[in-house]
Structures are given as structure tokens and as C-alpha cells.
Chain A
Amino acid sequence: MTTSAGTVVALRARAAAPSTTVRRRQGFQHGGWFVAPFLVLFALFVIWPLLRGLWLSFTDANISGEGARFVGLDNYREALGDQLMWDALGHSAYFTLLVVPCITVLAFLLAMLAHHIERGKWLWRLCFFMPFLLPSTVAGNLWQWLFNPGTGMVNHVLGIETPWLSDTSYALLAVVVCTLWWTVGFSFLLYLAALQGIPAHLYEAAELDGANAWHRMVHITLPMLRNITGLVIALQVLASLQVFDQAVVMMDFGPGPEGSTRTFVQFTLEEGFTSYRVGYASAISIIFFVLIAAVALARMWLLRNREEDGR
């Protein structure tokens, strides 16, 4: 098949293509109908909001949905000069910078551990993955409780008296800890699946060649995990930039001490729903969308480059 232009990813080998005539005749009649239901939903709840957001970003629309006036680029101009927006962006970026390397390393270590223990694999899998099965808000509540200065277990166990949630230098860190605990399981499973996918004969051959465990890891495991690592990092970067749930729950829906945990998503929602400035919030959303798209496109570009000179 040659019509897969637009697909993001190079496709894998598959069975030989059948005669084009049969396919075309059959497909032409029905193809549209197969995708129609999805496209309707997609158009209504993805495309339309995007276009609408773009339009609203040029207006002074408020939350009542009435009386929006065109204001040109005013919202964008204001946003670029809005210290709160830059702060929020900074918090989200800093959060991402902290979370992504930690999650990647932790997930890898957990996966190695679970992969190499021979007994009770399902049990380790369950234990390491379980936090991810909780709703984000429950994770947030739980850690808010754990970080509570007086009655919380964290300070008690560590024998310290850190005001985790009310001090600017710790608040975001507390959110990071909660996030690590809550989401490491997902990346862990990705790594585990990838580890199990490494053909055993590679190791057997290496063993015959006398490679020790360290060599096997450096020369087989790590290179074989390169793709999944790229994926884990990409998924985590995108998810971390969009962090919201745990942070607001841990801070009782506030911005944290001196606004230090106000994330970009939270800032957008505050402008739109707390300050009722839907037009301004839409402009910020569009800026955010461009940012996220840039990250996603950068990853695609990296992938493509690598596939061209690697493989």
C-alpha cells in the first residue's frame, strides 16, 4: 500500500498487498462510512474546539458565552507580557525537568528488577504498577495526607519537620514525589514489555562469547531499549507539561505557596473559569498548543532522522 502518507510512523512489514482492483472497488463504497462516526466525534470535539479556540483568542469573550468582541492580537500581546504566564510555564517546565529523568531511570530499574526475578512475576508487576491504577486526585489526596506536617507519615518516618506543602522550596518537589510514585508504573510496564521483547538468543550468544552481566547490559539491553526510552521520554514530557490534577489537589485547588505550584494548565483554567476571561484563556491555550505541537514535532523529526541514518 502506498497511500499511507500522513501516517506518523514508518509502518512495519506486513503481508503482501492484494490485487488493487478488488480492494479499490470494495473499499470505495464503504471506506467513508467506516470512518464517518469517528470523524463526526473528532470534528465536534477536537477540530471544532481548536478552531473555536483560535477564534476566541482574538476576542474578549467571557464565560457567559455572550457579547464577545474582536480585539485582534491584544490577548497574545498581553500573554507575552504576563509574568504569571511565564511563571506558570516555568513551573511546568521545571516540573517536567525533574520528573522525566527520574521516571525514566526509576522505571528502567524497576523493570530490570521485575524482569530478572524469576518467581512471582505477576506479583511484582502488580505491586509496581498498582499506584497508577488510582485516580490522580486520589493520589493527590493521599500525598497531601502523607506530607501533612504534623500528622503525615513522611516527616514521621524520616524524622524531620519539613513544611512540604507550605514552603516555596518544597511544594513543587512534593508534587514531583507524588507524581513519581503515581505514574512510574506506566513507564515501568513499557520497559518491561520491551525487555521481554529482546530476543533471548542475543544474550545466549553473548554469554557464549564470555560477556559478563555488565557487558550484556551495556551492549545488548541498553541499545535494544533505545526506542522505548525515546518513547517513555516523549510520553512523559508531553504528560508532564500538562500536569494539573495532583498539583491542584495537593494544594486544595490553590496555586501553592506564593504561587509556586501554579502550572500552565492551572493558569489557563484560572484565567478562563476563575477570572471569566475565556478569550484570554483561549489565547494562552493556543500558545500552549503550539508549544506541545512543537515538542511532538521535534520528537518526530528526531525519530525520522534517526531512522534515516540508523537501522
Chain B
Amino acid sequence: MGRPDLDRRQLLAAAGGLAAAGSFGFAALGQGADALASGADTRVRYWNLFSGGDGYNMIAMLDAFRAEHPGIDVKDSTLQWGSPFYTKLAMAAAGNRAPDLGVMHLGRVTGFSPGRLLDPWDVGLLRKYGVREEDFNPELWKRAVVDGELYALPLDIHVQLCFYRRDVLDRAGLLDADGRLVPVTSTDEWFDVLAEARKATKDGLQTLGLHTNDQNIMWWFFVSFYEQLSGTYFDAADTEVVFDTDKAAEVLAFLRRHVTDGYSIAGAADAEQFVNGAPFTMEGNWSVPVFDTAELDYGATPLPPVFGKRATHAESHSFVLPHQARRGGAADDAAHRLAAYVVQHARQWAGGGHIPAHMPTLSSPEYRALKPQSEYVVAMDHQATEPKVWFAGSTGILAQRLGPVVSASTMGSLTPDAAARRMKGVLTELIAMKNPMDGRTAAQARGGAGR
């Protein structure tokens, strides 16, 4: 063990003692270095799931808010999008020390136990900061209200779009006089368009990016086209599954045909191919900044109404107040102020392709001048949404269970008929399932046994 070197040993002991004392002291303060260092009067902890272009725009809006409100320190944190985000948000709310402000997909609110894991908004306070119910699409606002309380403040609507390269389609003669994609009203027309476009496409590129192995996106496409066939999932009381396997199989066969006919290559890097010259890609509106940055000559329409009726999947980012044991006070007030500010200054946000929920912003000339946003803003009136049940919502249980089936069918490992039957089976299971948060099935919740 060597000869004890007393000096070194004493030094180590002293350093160790100091470190221990300091650490216990720091832990006792319990806030973290960042919070301790914050000199502002009020500190708002705000969680979101935005990265990339959305993250960039969100930070720009936060910076604008910070500049106007020097007394409020906004500590924003970005967590991994999807389930990891909701997992963390739920755990934090369950632990009573949740962030002051959070972001949530509107479809998830019903399942996120409003009242337990979410605190309601103070509508009076929002009004004080300029947010009024009248300024929102009534349907949207209604989705945010549970048991008479407002639990979510909608920021946007985001939709699935069909992006197209003007330069390529021009060569194929698929643009109308305004330089927009020719109207498509049936599947036959759609595949004709694809066939024409393929001829104008460079070798080695697919014709249409379809994200065939992305279970979320495939599910959203399914929701869109199934709605175009006026398909439904449950009856009005949410007691019975009325899922139409014939319509579902038709949609699935339609999606599958893109792969079998060679228009989409499974597993291809869709966005990159589009940038490199693939004529089409179906994708969320969040790709707008990506393609803007690449300086492409492109347009974007809602998913083509190949089954007759216009409909494209829409979700909505909204602000929520995760449950805190002692909500209220300056931080809560600042959370209201921040959310109200961002909702009303969503012009920047629209740069990310999202359609602002705040109507005055939506009808502003600045927004109307944005391209291609102005081309697909009609999607606001043709929303296809998931059924309003506790297991729905972006990356919720419904999507997690059905998305893989849609993806498998599109990739070819399941026939459309078998996939449709399997989807119905899953829906039957889900409708009987009890929401772990209140022990009630969707039907019992709809029946309104009262909370």
C-alpha cells in the first residue's frame, strides 16, 4: 500500500471535507446552479418538444418576450419529442414540482387527466394579457375545454401536406396556370399524376416520399384518407366500434400501391430525396422551413382528396399548465403572460409551416403573404382528427397501436384486409380499456359520471 504520504493525505482529506460540506450545502439549497444564478424577479420554467426549425422559431419568440419583459426569466427546456416528452411531463406533474408552463398536443389533453396532472387556465388572467375566446376557431377552443374548464391554450394547427417540386412538375406538365399542382379527385387521377411525374424524375430518385416505416406519419396519413371516405371509429356513445374494415382496407391498399408500383421506396430518406429532386413528398407542415432553407421551388397542398372528400390530418400544439402542488403566484402569472404573448405573436411560428390558431394572426396580411402557407391554409376547414377519447392524440396509445399496423401493411408484411381486421381488433380492445387515471372506459367518461 506504499508509505503513507501525510501531506498529500491531509490535503486530500481537507479537499474531500470541503467538497462534501459544499455539496451538502448546495443540495440543501435545492434549486440548481442555474436557478440560483438567475437574477430576475420571476422565473418561468417552460418545457417544450420543439427542435430544429420549430425550436429555432420558438427561441426567437421567447427572446422577443424576454426583451419586452426583463423582469421575467424564461428557462426553456426542450425534451425528446413524443412519448418521452409526455412521460416526463406526467412524472413531473405527479411529483407536484412540474414546470410552470408546458406544451402539449391538443389530442392528448383528454387522456392527460385534466384536473390531476393538468391545472386549468385562469381565463380572466389570459384575457388580461390579450387572449380572448372569440379569437379562436370555436371547434378548436371546444376541444381544449374539459368539464367546463379551459385546460389547453391552442397555439397552432399542424397538418399533413403533399409537397411538390414546381420545377419537376413543370417539366411533367402537372402544374396549372397559377403554378399549382393540378387538382386530383380520385385515386386513378393520382396515380396518373405520379406516373407522369416519374417520367420527369431523375434516375435513382423515388417519385413520392411516404415515410412508409414511420408509424406515426403512416397513422396520420391513414386518418386523413379514412376521413376522406367519411370513415368513423366509434359510435356516438363510444360504446361500440363502428370501424369500417372495407373503407380501411381501401385506404391501406391505396397506401400500399405506392410501394408496389415503385413510386415510393421503403426506408428512403424522403426529405433528402425531395431536396435532391424527387417530385413529391407527403409530410407534416414542419418541413416547410427545411425546404425553404434548401431554396427549393416548391408548393404544398393538403393531402389530395383522392377519395372525393377533402380532409387532412390535423393536430394542434397548445400550452398547458402541468399540475403543481402550489400553483399561483408570480411564476404562474408569468406563465399566463408568456403563453398569451406567444399565441398572439405566432407570425414567427407560422414560418415553421404551422397554421396559427389565433385568428387575428391568421388573417393578417403578413401571414397571407407567406408561401406556401397561403396555399394550404384551407386545411383549417378540412381537419381530420382522431376520435376524441382518452387513448387518442399525437403519439398516444391509439397511434402507438395502430401506426405499426398501417406501416406493416404499406411495407407489405400484412395484406390490407388482414391489417384492417387487426385494426378493428385493436379498437375493440381499446374501447373496453379503462383509463388508468380514473378507472373509466371511454364510454363511461362520455356518459359523464362526473369527476
Contacts and interface: CB of A to CB of B under 8 A. Distances in A.
Query: Is A in direct contact with B (CB under 8 Å) within the complex?
Result: yes
Interface of A: 60, 62-67, 69, 163, 166, 252-254, 257-259, 269-270, 273-280
A253 B94 CA distance: 20
A60 B83 CA distance: 22
Contacts, number: 55
Nearest to A69: B439
B404 interface: yes
B94 A258 contact: no
Contact of A253 (B84, B90, B117): B84
Given A63-B91, A65-B94, A163-B267, A277 B83 contact: no
Contact of B80 (A65, A253, A257): A253
Contacts of A66: 116
- Greatest chain A CB density within 10 A among B90, B113, B397, B438 is at B90
Given A166-B213, A254-B82, A273 B439 contact: no
Given A64-B113, A64-B116, A253-B83, A276 B90 contact: yes
B136 interface: no
B254 to A, nearest CB: 23
A64 B439 CA distance: 12
Dominant secondary structure of chain A at its interface with chain B? loop
A251 B397 CA distance: 19
A62 B90 CA distance: 11
A273 B267 contact: no
Contact of B436 (A253, A270, A276): A276
Interface in B72-88: 80, 82-84, 86-87
A60 B90 contact: no
Nearest to B323: A64
A140 to B, nearest CB: 13
Interface in B258-305: 267
B437 interface: yes
Interface of B: 80, 82-84, 86-87, 90-91, 94, 113, 116-117, 213, 267, 397, 404, 434, 436-439
- Greatest chain B CB density within 10 A among A66, A252, A273 is at A273
A254 B437 contact: no
B123 to A, nearest CB: 24
B87 A274 contact: yes
Given A65-B94, A163-B267, A258-B404, A274 B83 contact: yes
B91 A273 contact: yes
B113 A252 contact: no
Contacts of A259: 404
A163 B90 CA distance: 33
Task: List the 4 shortest-distance A-B pairs measured between CB atoms, nearest first.
Answer: A253-B84, A62-B436, A277-B436, A274-B87
Contacts of B439: 60, 67, 69
A276 B437 contact: yes
A65 B96 CA distance: 11
Given A65-B94, A66-B116, A273 B87 contact: yes
Contacts of B397: 275
A62 B437 contact: yes
A60 B437 CA distance: 9
A64 B117 contact: yes
Contacts of A67: 438-439
Contacts of B117: 63-64
A257 B82 CA distance: 16
Nearest to B407: A258
B111 to A, nearest CB: 9
Contacts of A257: 213
Contacts of A274: 83, 86-87, 90
A252 B434 CA distance: 29
Contacts of B90: 63, 273-274, 276
A252 B404 CA distance: 17
A253 B88 CA distance: 12
A278 to B, nearest CB: 8
A166 B87 contact: no
Given A63-B436, A269-B87, 7 more contacts: A60-B434, A60-B436, A60-B439, A62-B437, A275-B397, A276-B113, A278-B436
A166 B267 CA distance: 9
B94 A63 contact: yes
Contacts of A275: 397, 436
A94 B439 CA distance: 35
A166 B213 CA distance: 9
Contacts of A270: 83, 87
A238 to B, nearest CB: 26
Contacts of B267: 163, 166
A123 to B, nearest CB: 20
Contacts of B437: 62-64, 276
Contacts of A252: 80, 84
Nearest to A65: B94
B16 to A, nearest CB: 19
Contacts of A277: 436
